[in-house]
Structure 1
């Protein structure tokens, strides 16, 4: 069997919505020759409903329960890059499971960049259904920032090409792997 040299066989990406977790996750999985799962898309496939419809018809509490069940399942897998939803890491139980499985990489972008990115796909972010989405982003960002800082690795996506971000993540994963030996 072909042995592939890679720093990890499992990694999760966390961070606020719009920081690039899904796009970067796909590229990272390709670079590391791992499977890629976007947690929100995984839940949508299992439920046969979009995240927006789950929020709208079943409520956020139901979505968060489905999310926790999916995390519990996916931390058991190997050869995986897992892109989390923006609120997944906020749940203490999810955070504990993910950090124990690790490593977890927090991706960062400024609230202005986040607003620009999510404005390209209106209606896709039910948690931002608010009169002033930028104010809502700033409030949620401030609430979640300290939690995202609990991830051991951190990479900014602001003004950077995906390839650059992926390279930095891989470098940090090698450093992390060597420090863990």
Structure 2
């Protein structure tokens, strides 16, 4: 049986950015647009450990979570035909970052701190890093540290005040430009 080749700009795309920028929602729609599988890294870890991310942080600590995250990234890098939505801190790890940048296009999604706070606090208790007295200030300080690292991504797109479809269209167009430029 002949294999049907679907024209697409990439067969492996990672989405990075701070929590609340829309990686999961946009990743799901991007995977549909590109006819690829979708994996949310945090949900993948939860399925493979049987423990929620907040509970991993609460009972095992962030260091244990980062080890699990690194193992999950390694396993998923071996897959193809995938849109991978990373956790907000995944790309910060130099080993993860190098492997992801080498594997295929990495798209960084961006939003203002106020937008992030509004989105990230819709479900109380879901965001362990925001369980502080002033979450907006926490977001700003974390973004200050993370922005130079997120800037290493191949493609950058803002999600502020935009419909998901609009963001996905921009990402697809930028992925085609990236592919036409002959990048891996």
Same fold (TM over 0.5): yes
The answer for unaligned runs of 5 or more in structure 2 is none
State the superposition RMSD in angstroms. 0.7
SS of corresponding position for 1:3: coil
The answer for unaligned runs of 5 or more in structure 1 is none
- 2:151 is aligned to 149
Cα deviation 1:56-79 (Å, max 9, x = unaligned): 011100000000011111111100
- 1:114 is aligned to 116
- State the 1:3 CA deviation: 1.8
- 1:132 is aligned to 134
The answer on whether the counterparts of 2:10 and 2:104 sit within 8 Å (CA) in structure 1 is: no
Q: Runs ≥4 in structure 1, deviation > 2 angstroms?
A: none
SS of corresponding position for 1:180: coil
Matches within 5 A, 1:82-97: 82-97=84-99
SS of corresponding position for 1:150: coil
Select 2:65's aligned residue among 63, 67, 86: 63
Equivalent pairs counted in the alignment come to 181
- State the 1:2 CA deviation: 2.2
**Counterparts of 2:105 and 2:74, CA distance in 1:** 15
**Counterparts of 2:31 and 2:53, CA distance in 1:** 23
- 1:100 is aligned to 102
- 1:81 is aligned to 83
- 1:23 is aligned to 25
SS of corresponding position for 1:158: coil
**Counterparts of 1:99 and 1:121, CA distance in 2:** 31
Cα deviation 1:33-72 (Å, max 9, x = unaligned): 1000000000000010000000001110000000001111
**Counterparts of 2:131 and 2:92, CA distance in 1:** 19
* TM-score of the aligned structures, taking structure 1 as reference length: 0.98
**Counterparts of 1:151 and 1:22, CA distance in 2:** 17
* TM-score of the aligned structures, taking structure 2 as reference length: 0.97
SS of corresponding position for 2:124: coil
SS of corresponding position for 2:13: strand
- 1:179 is aligned to 181
